[in-house]
């Protein structure tokens, strides 16, 4: 067993690709490693909320298989998230309805009742800046964080209007309180699958354009600041709305998870390493 000390965990957004966080969390469970804090953006915030509630990776996998493994179950939940005004208009989806439809029942209602401190990243639309939620009602904060422009309606909360946190900070390793080490898990910086000549639909084009923007912003940030460890898995190649491909996404993330486990098992704090230490599934 390695000698990993205190660490915090940052989980990126990425739509369906962010489901690839689950095998990474399963590794932490197997090694009995628990972060002192978690920060997440968009779907990474939803996964992070489950982890911070005390839910282990295996239970998370079972929950997702129950929710997403059946196309009809997935369709019912998505339709329920639309509300009456959303029928026939996908961009009218309510992000809070979506959070309530997909989040496990055991996740607490408030940040203060989580087992691990959690920071949720959203974008204040009018202020054009990052907003960090870390107290108060949890589900409305998650709704603000997942409100992808063109897919969900903006989410109003506390007199402000919010959209997806990935617009300003898709991998929030810099939003964590001071810790000896930050493990940042990025599921959104690969090029999605697709024919180079394929013309995407409006929503898919919006999501793809956001991914290009997020990659560029992260590359710039990494030149001046970086987490101690950066994990990138093959799940990033899946398109943002491909939730029905859950099993493929989990399988794609497995090689990076296995490499991470081997690295952490042999970890010694005294060893000199580059920053960041990069773990990939290649």
Q: Which residue do the tokens 């979506």 mark?
A: 98
- Residue 9 · residue 39 · CB < 8 Å: yes
pLDDT tens string 85-119: 444 444 568 999 999 988 999 999 999 999 999 99
| Domain residue extents for the chain | 7-280
Q: Is 42 a catalytic residue?
A: yes
- Which of the following is catalytic: 42, 53, 145, 233? 42
Question: What residues are paired with 155 via a beta bridge?
Answer: 162
Tell me if 58 sits within 8 A of 227, measured CB to CB. Answer: no
User: Which member of 164, 186, 233, 253 is catalytic?
Assistant: 164
- Please give the CATH number for the structural domain made up of 7-280: 3.40.1090
pLDDT in tens, 140-193: 999 999 999 888 999 999 999 999 999 999 999 999 977 779 999 999 866 656
Cβ pair 35, 198 in contact under 8 A: no
Residue 94 a catalytic site member = no
Supply the pTM of this predicted model: 0.92
CA nearest to 36, candidates 108, 115, 106? 115
């Amino acid at each position: 067993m390695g000698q990993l000390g205190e660490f915090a965990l940052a989980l990126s957004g990425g739509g369906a690709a962010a489901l690839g966080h689950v095998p990474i969390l399963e590794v932490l469970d197997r090694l009995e490693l628990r972060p002192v804090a978690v920060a997440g953006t968009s779907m990474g915030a939803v996964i992070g909320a489950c982890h911070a509630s005390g839910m282990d990776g295996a239970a998370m996998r079972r929950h997702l298989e129950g929710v997403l493994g059946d196309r009809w179950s997935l369709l019912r939940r998505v339709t329920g998230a639309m509300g009456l005004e959303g029928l026939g208009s996908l961009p009218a989806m309510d992000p809070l309805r979506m959070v309530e439809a997909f989040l496990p029942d055991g996740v607490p209602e408030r940040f203060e009742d989580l087992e691990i401190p959690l920071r949720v990243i959203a974008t204040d639309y009018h202020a054009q800046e990052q907003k960090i939620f870390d107290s108060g009602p949890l589900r409305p904060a998650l709704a603000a964080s997942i409100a992808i422009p063109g897919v969900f309606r903006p989410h109003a909360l506390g007199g402000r209007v919010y959209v997806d946190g990935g617009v300003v900070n898709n991998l929030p390793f810099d939003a964590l309180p001071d810790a000896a080490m930050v493990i940042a898990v990025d599921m959104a910086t690969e090029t999605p699958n697709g024919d180079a000549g394929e013309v995407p639909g409006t929503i898919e084009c919006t999501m793809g354009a956001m991914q290009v923007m997020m990659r560029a912003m992260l590359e710039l940030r990494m030149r001046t600041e970086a987490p101690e460890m950066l994990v990138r898995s093959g799940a990033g190649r899946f398109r943002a709305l491909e939730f029905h491909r859950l099993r493929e996404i989990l399988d794609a993330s497995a090689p990076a998870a296995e490499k991470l486990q081997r690295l952490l098992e042999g970890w010694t704090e005294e060893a000199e390493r580059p920053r960041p230490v990069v773990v990939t599934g290649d």
